[in-house]
Structures are given as C-alpha cells and as structure tokens.
C-alpha cells in the first residue's frame, strides 16, 4: 500500500484491508508495450485530479490489467485494449483501485461521492433505495446499507468476489454501485420468497444499454413517469402491491377482491400498455434500436418505485379509498 493508511472500523462496513479478498484475484492480462504511453498519461491525469490519493504506477498497472480481465470475461464485448481504454472512466477506476488498496483518502472520497442529478451523497442514495426496498423498517434499512458497504471489499461467501472487484471501469461508479445494491437485495428477497435468486455475476452487470447513448436512459425514465401519471387508481394499486409490497398475484387478487385469472389478464394488459407507451415515446424521439422489452423489465421497477405515486402513504390512501387494506402481516 502506497501513501495511504490501513482502513479502520470507524464506520459501518469498513474493514481492515488485510481481511479483504486479494485485489488481484483474476489472472492479470498482459499490458501491451506499445500502449505504455497511454498508461503513463492515464496515471498522471488521475494523480492530477486526485492529488491526495497516492497510488504508484506499478499498482495502477496491476489494477488496470485486473479490471481489463473483468471486462473481457463478459460476453459480446470488444476485447481489445484500445476499446477498453477509450471507454474507461479514469477517475472512477482510479478511485476504486485506491479503495481496494485500503487508502483512507480514497474511502473518504467515496463516502463523499455524489449520486447523479439529485446531488445527494452515495450513502444517502443507498439509504433512500433501502427505504423503498424495506418500507417503514428502519432497522432493516440500516442493516441493508451497512451489510452492502462491508461487501464492497469483503466477499459475501467463499468463492465470490467483493463488489469493488467486479467493477470494470466502463461505466460511472456511483450509479453502478446503487444498481448493484438494489439487485443484490432484490436477489435476497427472491431467495427468501423461494424464488430463484439472481446469479452472482448478474448483480454487477449493467442494464441493457439503450443504443449506448445515456440520453436514451433519461428519455426512458421520463417516459416511464409519464406513463405512470396516466394510469388509473386500480392500475396503480396493482403495481404498488406487486412492486412495493412484493405480494404474489394470488395475494393481490385477495386484497383487491378479484378473481386471480382476471387479475392475471389485467396485469398482462398493464404491462403491454406501459411497454407500448414507452416505446412510442422513444420512437417519436428517434429511437432506432432493438427490442425494448428486456430494458423495460429490468429498469421499470426501480423507476416506478422512485415515483411518489407509488409511495407507501399514497398506496395506503388509494387502498383506503377503495375500501381495501393490506394483509395484516404487511401492515406497519
């Protein structure tokens, strides 16, 4: 470790660097000699941007070889060094490498990282996501964040990789961490419900890209929220009970007093309605990519849970107005 202090245990989830899994658990991929000038430029650029984080050139090269190995192990990628370096997020990559080396300044910087347009701290963004996953259960929300923070450098179980070791530097770090956090807890919830959990490798995978252009993600989110604003109260209740409270189709039918077969058809119609609405909005803006259904199924739940129309209080008001109520074990 160069120029940094060993991590202490002053905050939840932060462990001694000596207890973390090795930062180079994947076999390193040789770095091309002809690209050495690019590595030198990358290193000095990162040091200029983060002068308080002391990481030497040798360590940087080792981490670059490691993260390239993580990248090329994914199916369907352009497994060339030139493509990898052209699409690298250098500061996020450098910060991750420094955190894995146990440098205190790097962890302080990660704690202070901001999450997107909301400009809130990463920790606050994780807590907000935890609040949506575990509504009105503050103890579970806190433990969810703390447990995930610990898994950044400590493997969840033997044979698995710590979260930060899965980061390949090819996408912004903070949104990626938030996505991994949500996917990890959704996987845990599925496992407890007896549903097949997400494979571990899928937790760190990015969402299907909308033509590789980030503006399409923003357009998708806007279209999803617009679609939600046009739904009827009955449709909002179905979405809220399935997504917010994770009730089964049979449980939703019992709450709403519907026949399960009728509810199934209504749910299918609602899904198709949302997909058609969003597709039309993106096509109107010039979308020429492929099938959006995979992206909708992957991203739609997170977008909808961020909308106040599906908040706990709003759903409670809708149910009350309809003379319905949650099962006793789902109430506060």
Q: How is 264-284 classified by DSSP, letter by letter?
A: HHHHHHHHHHHHHHHHHHHHH
| Rounded-to-integer distance, Cα 102 and Cα 18, Å | 9
- Axis crossing angle, helix 36-49 with helix 57-72, rounded to the nearest 10: 110
Q: Mean pLDDT of all residues in the chain?
A: 77
Q: pLDDT class for 37, splitting at 50, 70, 90? A: very high
User: Which one has a higher pLDDT value, 299 or 237?
Assistant: 237
For residue 151, give the nearest of 99, 73, 98 by alpha carbon.
Answer: 99
Taking the C-alpha atoms of residue 157 and residue 4, their distance in angstroms, rounded to an integer, is: 27
Can you tell me the mean pLDDT for 17-33? 55
% of the chain beyond a pLDDT of 90? 26
Q: What is the DSSP letter of 120?
A: E
pLDDT per residue as tens digits for the range 179-223: 888 777 776 665 555 443 334 333 343 444 444 556 777 778 888
CA angle 111, 112, 114 (to 5 degrees): 110
Residues in the chain: 332
pLDDT surpasses 90 at 48:
yes
Among 17-21, 78-82, 239-243, name the one with the lowest average pLDDT.
17-21
Least confident of 15-29, 41-55, 114-128, 174-188: 15-29
> pTM (2 decimals)?
0.55
pLDDT at 23: 39
Distance CA 79, CA 83 (A): 7
Out of 36-40, 112-116, 184-188, 327-331, least confident range: 327-331
Residue ranges per structural domain of the chain: 1-206, 214-330
CA distances from 6 to 45, 57, 97 (A): 25, 19, 14
Q: Which of 247, 250, 260, 242 is nearest to 329 (CA)?
A: 247
Between 166 and 280, where is the model more confident? 166
The answer to whether 236 touches 309, Cβ cutoff 8 Å, is yes
Cβ neighbours of 207 (radius 10 Å): 17
Mean pLDDT of 36-48: 94
pLDDT, mean of residues 221-243: 87
The pLDDT-based confidence of 292 (bands split at 50, 70, 90) is: low
Q: Angle, nearest 10°, between helix axes 36-49 and 90-100?
A: 80
Contact assessment for residue 217 and residue 285, using Cβ atoms and an 8 Å cutoff: no
**Does the structure show a pLDDT above 50 at 320?**
yes
Q: What is the mean pLDDT of residues 318-325?
A: 90
pLDDT tens by residue, 67-107? 999 999 888 888 899 999 999 999 999 999 999 999 999 99
Q: Which residue has the higher pLDDT, 24 or 266?
A: 266
């Amino acid at each position: 470790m160069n120029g940094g202090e060993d991590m202490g245990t002053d905050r939840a989830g932060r462990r001694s660097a000596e207890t973390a899994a090795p930062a180079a658990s994947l076999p390193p991929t040789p770095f091309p000699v002809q690209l050495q000038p690019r590595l030198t430029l990358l290193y000095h650029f990162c040091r200029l941007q983060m002068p308080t984080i002391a990481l030497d050139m040798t360590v940087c090269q080792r981490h670059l070889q490691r993260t390239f190995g993580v990248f090329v192990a994914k199916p369907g990628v352009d497994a060339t060094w030139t493509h990898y370096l052209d699409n690298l997020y250098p500061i996020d990559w450098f910060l991750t490498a420094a955190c894995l080396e146990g440098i205190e300044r790097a962890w302080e910087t990660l704690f202070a990282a901001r999450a997107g347009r909301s400009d809130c701290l990463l920790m606050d963004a994780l807590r907000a996501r935890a609040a949506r996953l575990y509504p009105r259960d503050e103890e579970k929300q806190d433990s969810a964040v703390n447990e995930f923070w610990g898994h950044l450098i400590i493997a969840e179980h033997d044979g698995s990789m710590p979260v930060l070791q899965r980061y390949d530097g090819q996408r912004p770090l903070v949104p990626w961490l938030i996505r991994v956090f949500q996917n990890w807890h959704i996987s845990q919830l599925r496992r407890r419900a007896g549903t097949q959990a997400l494979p571990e490798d899928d937790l760190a995978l990015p969402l299907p890209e909308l033509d590789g252009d980030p503006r399409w993600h923003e357009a998708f989110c806007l279209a999803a929220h617009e679609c939600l604003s046009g739904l009827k109260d009955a449709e909002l209740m179905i979405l809220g009970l399935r997504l917010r409270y994770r009730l089964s189709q049979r449980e939703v039918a019992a709450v709403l007093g519907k026949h399960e077969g009728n509810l199934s058809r209504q749910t299918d119609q609602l899904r198709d309605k949302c997909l058609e609405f969003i597709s039309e909005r993106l096509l109107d803006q010039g979308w020429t990519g492929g099938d959006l259904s995979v992206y909708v199924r992957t991203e739609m739940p997170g977008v909808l849970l961020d909308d106040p129309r599906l908040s706990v209080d709003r759903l409670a008001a809708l149910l009350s107005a309809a003379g319905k109520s949650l099962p006793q074990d789902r109430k506060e």
